[in-house]
Amino acid sequence: DTAVSQTPKYLVTQMGNDKSIKCEQNLGHDTMYWYKQDSKKFLKIMFSYNNKELIINETVPNRFSPKSPDKAHLNLHINSLELGDSAVYFCASSQTATNEKLFFGSGTQLSVL
């Protein structure tokens, strides 16, 4: 069973569209994250939720809105997509907010045309 799963794996869309990426973890972890990996492989945290509450919100445009319906899910909704949003988005989880080991999903490659 996949520990952290995110869908879709690939997402190709036009500028201006709204899209969502879903993430689920079956590890019973309290904390979930969204990371963005750019074309140079640089990883940067976007958001973190602990027990459905937002605890980290880095400098990310308001067009990005995370939603956590329960602690096993953290979805990422993106409005009015722009070319610069093209990247690989990784979902991750950790047992607690202070636990250091991250478990990553396999990534969603977003291409905005």
Partner 1 sequence: AQSVTQLDSHVSVSEGTPVLLRCNYSSSYSPSLFWYVQHPNKGLQLLLKYTSAATLVKGINGFEAEFKKSETSFHLTKPSAHMSDAAEYFCVVRINTGGFKTIFGAGTRLFVKA
Binding site for partner 1 (CB under 8 A): 4, 40-45, 55-56, 90, 92, 97-98, 100-102, 104-107
- Single out the residue of 61, 77, 57 nearest to residue 69, CA to CA: 77
Nearest distance in Å: CB 68, partner 1:
18
Residues 93 and 47: beta-carbon distance below 8 Å? no
In whole angstroms, how close is the CB of 92 to partner 1 at the nearest point? 7
**Closer of 1 and 42 to partner 1 (Cβ):** 42
Name the residue nearer to partner 1 (CB basis): 15 or 55.
Answer: 55
CA atoms within 13 A on the CB side of 36: 18
Q: Tell me the CB-side half-sphere exposure of residue 89, using CA atoms within 13 A.
A: 29
Shortest Cβ 54–partner 1 spacing (Å): 13
